[in-house]
Structure 1
Amino acid sequence: MNNNLVGSDLARAMLNRGDKQVWCAVSNDSDGQALTTINEADYSCIYPIVTYTNDYFVCNEGKSWKYAVPVRRVELSQNEIGF
């Protein structure tokens, strides 16, 4: 049995444990749709989520979404790209 949290369930758990913000791909349709925006390089749908209230994830700008999938934002180094 797999008890690993993923998608919006993971975002809720991270906020519940006290994380101040969680970078997420967001959607009002589904977790899958949120991930599709990343696969299509639509990074305008990635926000720092700061709370989960009344069944909605809310970012630091006050916008809300039904689904939020945690993502990593990392800086690449020169060595990582072989330059």
Structure 2
Amino acid sequence: MIDQLKSFPGIKGPPNEFSEGMDIRDWFAGQALGSGIIDGHDLNDSQLSELFGTDRTNITQEEIAAAIAYRIADAMIAHRKGGAS
């Protein structure tokens, strides 16, 4: 259930249309990207395979950053659920 939480739900302007907000996972991933902790990650082949599978080649730095950001978001959600320490 916690992974279905939304960030910033509420009413948005006339004619008072309800906005569900952004998925909490997307919010956490965005916060991880903006934090700078992802910058400059050089991953070895084993780590790249874990993130993208063994068939991928020519993986961009942007793809790596996004994959790491979502890993961090997943860890944050697990921690909120009490599954991480």
**Structure 2 length as normaliser, TM-score?**
0.25
Greater share of strand residues, 1 or 2?
A: 1
* Structure with more helix by fraction: 2
